[in-house]
Amino acid sequence: MAAHPPGQTVEHAHPGAREYIIIAAILGIITAIEVAVYYVDSLRPILPPTLIALSAVKFALVVMFYMHLKFDHPIFTGMFLFGLATALFTFVGFLFLFGFVGVFH
């Protein structure tokens, strides 16, 4: 798009190739950390929350920067987050209902 259509955020905040490559490097490093942490026995007890947090960071980086949500109109973020939130609520609910989080059964 050569012109800036109304409703799009102005482009000077738009990341360029350099920023994308930096983000890719961060993604790669986090993945390496995830794998490394998997092999460290002393970290086993806190492995699930650690891995979830690391993955969440990767997820957010791709969604905000590669999928451009950070710079786009909030309605796109709203649509995506609503679906994501409903899915999280429901399927974390499943974990409770099937006895995985100690509250029931």
Partner 1 sequence: MATVTAPTTPARGGLIARPIAPTGVWSWLTTVDHKRIGILYGSTAFFFFLVGGIEALLMRTQLIRPDSTFLGPGEFNALFTMHGTTMIFLVVMPLSAAFFNYIVPLQIGARDVAFPRLNAFSYWVFLSGAVLMHLGFLVRSVPDVGWFAYANLTSRAFSPSGSVDFWVVGLQVLGVASMAAALNFLITIIQLRAPGMSLMRMPLFTWTTLITSILMVLAFPVVTVALVELMFDRLFGTNFFNTAQGGDPILWQHLFWVFAHPEVYILILPAMGIVSEIIPTFSRKPLFGYPFMVYAVASIAFLSFTVWAHHMFTTGLGPIAVSFFAASTMLIAVPTGVKIFNWISTVHGGALSLKTPALFALGFVGLFTIGGLSGVMHASPPVDTQQQDTYFVVAHFHYVLFGGSIFGLFGGLYYWFPKFSGRMLDETLGVWNFILMFVGFNLTFGPQHFLGVDGMPRRIFTYPPNMGWDLWNLVSTVGAYILGLAVLVLMYNVFKTLRSGERAGNDPWDGRTLEWAIASPPPHYNFATIPTVNSRDAFWAEKHPYLGTHELASNTSELAVAGNPGAEAPIPDAHDPRGAEPEHDGHGHIHMPDPSYWPLIAGLGIFVTGLGLLFSIPLVPIGLFILIASVYGWSLEPVNG
Partner 2 sequence: MAAAVAPPIAPAHVEEHQGATGLNTRKLLMWAFLGSDCMFFGSLIGTYLVYRGRTAIHPLPREVFDIPYTSVSAFALLMSSLAMVLALAAIQHGDVRRLKIWLLTTAGLGLVFIGGQIYEFTTFGAEGLNLSTSIFGSTFFVLTGFHGAHVSLGIVWLLSLFMLARRGIITQERSLDVEIGGLYWHFVDIVWIILFTVVYLIPI
Q: Does 95 bind partner 2 (CB under 8 A)?
A: yes
DSSP 99: T
Q: If binding is defined by CB under 8 A, does position 31 make contact with partner 2? A: yes
CB–CB of 1/28 below 8 Å?
no
- Do residues 78 and 86 make contact, with C-beta atoms less than 8 angstroms apart? no
Binding residue for partner 1, selected from 86, 88, 95, 101, defined by CB under 8 A: 86
85 in Cβ contact with 72 (< 8 Å): no
Is 89 one of the binding residues for partner 1 (CB under 8 A)? yes
Nearer to partner 1, 39 or 94 (CB): 94
Please report whether residue 96 would count as binding partner 2 according to CB under 8 A: no
CA distance 12 to 18: 14
User: Which of 29, 53, 74, 83: binder of partner 1 (CB under 8 A)?
Assistant: 83
Handedness of CA 80, 81, 86, 88 (dihedral sign): positive
> Can you give the binding site for partner 1, defined by CB under 8 A?
75, 82-83, 86, 89-90, 94, 96-98, 103-105
